Structure 1
């Protein structure tokens, strides 16, 4: 017959199992990565090593973790983590809010990649790229100036595709068979110069937000690098941040 102590211990195991399972679901531990050692992990969770081990074993039985007697616990490679934030194209974001996205092509040319671009995109210096500069709008209001540099060898169909009022992410998937999986980006504040002010219909020197990114396909291959300059009154950066367990 179960005792109160047994029930309490079982509750601790279930709570630990739930917390670890949630961390895996959110992608806090990358597929194939090793978890912290049992002593450290138990300490951070505030449970005994015995309780932790029961929870880890249950996750392993479900195929979400793997154990190596010599090296510890690992996240199974076939576990798909739910990303903390969702990557959307400008067009997807606009349509999700009931707005009409527009895209005016300001510049479109093929050229050799610069050394910096080649380094970001993992291609040879002077590899052929497509440079695309677009003025993006919402319901006719200019919102951002978007410059993308795309590896032509990985997306040759873009060279003959009209991208006016089209989503670049969706076009990459439909025309080139490339599904965007993730983007590594930074955002910083700046002031609008004369050209940016004219295009975005703001005063010269008005605050703008500059986002720079490298975008990767599902297989981890870098597809494009870009810079987007937003009116500060039309863009808000949002992210979900998690403390490690």
Structure 2
């Protein structure tokens, strides 16, 4: 079962998508929402914070929490790796690994990857380049059981290709995009100024059987990368 804060996150997001909460609407207080969902205020705050991080809600100091006034959300079909995207545009992709650790999953990783807290994930921080220009800083979590027989280089350099070569069938991904300002760490790795606008992407990728295999939080340099959305 998903953690309570993830279920609350999904419920509120679904209500917003159905226009039960409209752009600019003010949400009830955290106390009232906590009572409504029968959870602690701390749990409720985790759900709200995640929605704020995704750009779905916005906090206004001294006023409350509102449905974000400027949010564009489109369903992007298919799942394509960064390497494939860059290569298809005639550029040379490369990766710099900042860290590569075997750790227990945090609460978000447990929820999105549907794994147990006492299991292990490989969590890596990477900077991805196109023609030696840093484009994205990302933090990726992958269940260890999926990749325990793969070499580190196979994971850090061409993960999707490694999965495909070993018989895994990659299916859909769920993505959330929002705008934010680069913090000091992100600015350093992307070689931009602190506070410069970046595109924040949260993505969960799934195999054909519906099992999630990757949870990624990425920060893209807006002037170096754009997302193309196509509705069918």
Q: TM-score, normalised by structure 2?
A: 0.63
Say which of 126, 132, 137 aligns to 1:140: 132
Deviations 1:132-182 (A, max 9, x none): 111100000000012110001122124x321487222112222x5323211
Shift of 1:84: 6.8
**Equivalenced residues, count:** 158
Kept in 2, the 8 Å contact 1:105–1:163? The answer is no
Q: 1:92 and 1:213, CA in 2 relative to 1: closer, same or farther beyond 3 A?
A: same
Say which of 222, 225, 229 aligns to 1:235: 225
Structure number with larger C-alpha Rg: 1
Matching residue of 2:162: 171
Deviations 1:192-225 (A, max 9, x none): 1112111111111100011001110111111011
1:125 equivalent in alignment to 2:117: yes
Q: 1:221 and 1:98, CA in 2 relative to 1: closer, same or farther beyond 3 A?
A: same
In 1, the alpha carbon distance for the partners of 2:100 and 2:185 equals 18
Where relative contact order (Cα < 8 A, 6+ residues apart) is larger, the structure is 2
Kept in 2, the 8 Å contact 1:197–1:203? The answer is yes
Q: Secondary structure at the match of 1:162?
A: helix
Matching residue of 2:178: 188
Kept in 2, the 8 Å contact 1:103–1:164? The answer is no
Kept in 1, the 8 Å contact 2:81–2:160? The answer is yes
Matching residue of 1:210: 200
Shift of 1:108: 0.1
Can you give the 5+ residue segments of structure 2 that lack an aligned partner in the other structure?
A: 1-74
Q: TM-score, normalised by structure 1?
A: 0.60
In 1, the alpha carbon distance for the partners of 2:102 and 2:140 equals 12
In 1, the alpha carbon distance for the partners of 2:188 and 2:119 equals 33
1:222 equivalent in alignment to 2:212: yes
Deviations 1:26-82 (A, max 9, x none): xxxxxxxxxxxxxxxxxxxxxxxxxxxxxxxxxxxxxxxxxxxxxxxxxxxxxxxxx
Computed over aligned residues only, the root mean square deviation of the Cα atoms, in angstroms, reads 1.9
- Give the ranges of 4+ consecutive aligned residues of structure 1 lying more than 4 Å apart after TM superposition: none
